[in-house]
Structure 1
Amino acid sequence: MFAQVSNRIKGLLMVITGATLWGLSGTAAQVLFQEKQITAEWLVVVRMIMAGSALLLFAACKRMAILSIWANAKSIVSLLLFGFFGMLGVQYTYFASIATGNAATATLLQYLAPVYIVLYVMVAQKHRPTKEVALAIVLALLGTFLLITNGSTGELKVPFISVFWGVLSGVALAFYTLSSAQMLKKWHSILVVGWGMVIGGGGMCFVFPPFPLPEVRWDVETWLLIVFVVVFGTLFAFLLFIESIRYLSPTESSLLSSVEPLSAVVASIAFLHVPFGLFQAVGAACIMVTVLLLSPKKERQSSNSTSIT
């Protein structure tokens, strides 16, 4: 009995730590974009290739057959689509939203993904929305409106381009989750995510080579922030989340991962002094409630899926 309680606490600590690191990595990225002149394209390429390669190396050390996922044409096509449109789509739109706005808003807008997933499933399966789903959708719309306007229709508190990228990030995360569901039934998530990152980052290299940017001041702080985003905010965060599922149900891990937008908001306010009005806080709370309402439904649609932002 004590061992079960101890394992559950271990799982809780893992998922909360991992989600917090995900949220803090967005804040670190904001500093890199807006104070260090690092571009979103450069950071996406470096983050995906380095973190993806590290995940595959970790898988090899665990004696996983890392090339087995390339066994047939169907899995190759699925993996390529996931890497380019799912993984790369999520990474680039999320960082573009941060670069043009702030990490708090970008993370919250990305967390509207469960709404898009539920709407897609309802249309595909021709289901009418339940009262719970209808409430979640209303809260999502209200939360988004308050988040970007702070209750005033006269002006946006967040640049429109940032909102645009943030909404696209949520759509990309929804595609990421749905497109990975079938692969995750056959292959370990470390292999799927690792290869997805390498494919997406490798493909983007042809458009945005990761050469040192001449306008960037490559000081110690810049390198530490990059290491934090790649190692702690990506690699460790993902591994902690995956390990937590050994001790918690997937539903519990999914719900607790909503700590990510909360940590992004708190860090943005505390460290970057991002203005966050009362109505924006209410909007953030609405989106958080939406995540809590829809996460169990998303779980039933894709119980093995996992996300990384």
Structure 2
Amino acid sequence: MPVLTSDSARGSSGKGAGLGLALVSAVAFGGSGVAAKPLIEAGLDPLHVVWLRVAGAALVMLPLAVRHRALLRRRPALLAGFGLFAVAGVQACYFAAISRIPVGVALLVEYLAPALVLGWVRFVQRRPVTRAAALGVVLAVGGLACVVEVWAGLGFDALGLLLALGAACCQVGYFVLSDQGSDAGDEVPDPLGVIAYGLLVGAAVLTVVARPWSMDWSVLAHDAPMDGTPVAAALLLAWIVLIATVLAYVTGVVAVRRLSPQVAGVVACLEAVVATVLAWVLLGEHLSAPQIVGGVVVLVGAFIAQSSTPAQGSPDPVASGGPERELSGRGRSA
């Protein structure tokens, strides 16, 4: 249901709410790996876990898809693009990349997305960006390099790096498409409807890629070990579907609308920090000193980006959430 926002919502309160939603999204997305790893170690293929995640979320959001079926006529390209890039593309490219290059390298390349978003805004949309937003991106990417310890086991595989870059480009699609229509007044596409159809499209694409009919379904009926502690596989799957997908996408898309694609993209880098900390606490994967320092740098970069103000003499710099961030409607994400 659309929610009208006043001018003050575009000020500090609206920006604060957007930042809070972006943080919730980053935490929710960051918790997916901790729940997925035990399922993979229990015998499920990574692509099958991805398919279960997206297909399960699509089922949860199906009633909303029916409710917002008018979007199929009004915004078919947006729905198809969101499903292909923001849902299926990111997942498929990332898992294909880590089969060829170290996870840390793939994750760093994927999270070059905030820098690519700035490039899209500056050179494609030809809109100004603030120096603070650019500095925030540089700090976040540099800190992320420490979090994932990119220097450990670095190996050059051209195809693997291209796949990771493909995941980054798909993440750009997520942030850019999440912002589509936010200035369309009463015609703004409802975020929940866009997410619901994006998940349906993503599930359809991943069904072809993952071939779930070959999956060992019996794994879901047993426990999966989490750092030596047995946890019901069904409970882990429920977490992945409801928290790490449905909640993560909904809060993420709404955050993009309250902030801007590039600012929300920098805050999303916290996902890697959250994932690393949760792996430390729940899976016994300890943090090194460089990872801790890197996490702090990511936090600093995210703060600088979201608190940036308009550059002197520049009309409505996007990184500051200028008038183009006005919301006359709300609700959604992936």
- Matched to 2:169, the amino acid is V
- Matched to 2:85, the amino acid is F
Q: Is the 8 A contact 2:110 2:167 kept in 1?
A: yes
Q: Is the 8 A contact 2:251 2:332 kept in 1?
A: no
Q: Deviations over 1:213-268 (max 9, x none)?
A: 2497441432221121012322244456678x7xxx92499587776444322111
Shift of 1:16: 5.6
Q: Is the 8 A contact 1:40 1:92 kept in 2?
A: no
What percent identity do the matched residue pairs reach?
22
- Matched to 2:135, the amino acid is L
Q: Is the 8 A contact 2:192 2:332 kept in 1?
A: no
- For residues 138 and 256 of structure 1, the distance between their equivalents in structure 2, rounded to whole angstroms, comes to 13
What is the aligned partner in structure 2 of residue 53 from structure 1? 59
What is the aligned partner in structure 2 of residue 192 from structure 1? 194
What is the aligned partner in structure 1 of residue 3 from structure 2? none
Q: Deviations over 1:138-174 (max 9, x none)?
A: 3245334434447x6xx43799798876554333211
**Are 2:264 and 1:266 aligned?**
no
Q: SS where residue 202 of structure 2 aligns?
A: helix
Q: 1:298 to 1:44 in 2, by over 3 A?
A: farther
- For residues 139 and 113 of structure 1, the distance between their equivalents in structure 2, rounded to whole angstroms, comes to 14
- Aligned pairs for 1:3-82 (under 5 A) are 19-33=26-40, 35-58=41-64, 60=66, 64=67, 66-72=68-74, 75-82=75-82
What is the aligned partner in structure 1 of residue 321 from structure 2? 300
Q: Which has the higher helix share?
A: 1
What is the aligned partner in structure 1 of residue 180 from structure 2? 182
Q: 1:77 to 1:45 in 2, by over 3 A?
A: same
Between stretches 195-204 and 178-187, larger displacement belongs to: 178-187
Structure 1 stretches lacking a partner, 5+ long: 1-8
Of the three residues 149, 153, 169, the one matched with 1:156 is 153
What is the aligned partner in structure 2 of residue 146 from structure 1? 146
Shift of 1:71: 1.4
What is the aligned partner in structure 2 of residue 277 from structure 1? 288
Q: Is the 8 A contact 1:23 1:107 kept in 2?
A: no
Q: 1:242 to 1:209 in 2, by over 3 A?
A: same
Matched residues, number: 288
- For residues 78 and 140 of structure 2, the distance between their equivalents in structure 1, rounded to whole angstroms, comes to 30
What is the aligned partner in structure 1 of residue 234 from structure 2? 223
**Are 2:258 and 1:250 aligned?**
yes
- For residues 144 and 18 of structure 2, the distance between their equivalents in structure 1, rounded to whole angstroms, comes to 31
- The root-mean-square deviation of aligned C-alpha atoms, in Å, is 4.3
Q: Deviations over 1:103-131 (max 9, x none)?
A: x9877765543221112212225578653
Shift of 1:95: 5.2
TM-score by length of 1: 0.71
Q: Is the 8 A contact 2:26 2:268 kept in 1?
A: yes
TM-score by length of 2: 0.67
Q: 1:242 to 1:287 in 2, by over 3 A?
A: closer
Q: SS where residue 31 of structure 2 aligns?
A: helix
- For residues 230 and 167 of structure 1, the distance between their equivalents in structure 2, rounded to whole angstroms, comes to 26
- For residues 163 and 225 of structure 1, the distance between their equivalents in structure 2, rounded to whole angstroms, comes to 30
Q: 1:188 to 1:286 in 2, by over 3 A?
A: same
Structure 2 stretches lacking a partner, 5+ long: 1-15, 224-231, 309-317
- For residues 208 and 275 of structure 1, the distance between their equivalents in structure 2, rounded to whole angstroms, comes to 31
Q: SS where residue 52 of structure 1 aligns?
A: helix
- Matched to 2:239, the amino acid is F
Q: Is the 8 A contact 1:37 1:215 kept in 2?
A: no
Shift of 1:208: 2.5
Q: Is the 8 A contact 2:93 2:166 kept in 1?
A: yes
Q: 1:147 to 1:133 in 2, by over 3 A?
A: same
Between stretches 132-141 and 38-47, larger displacement belongs to: 132-141
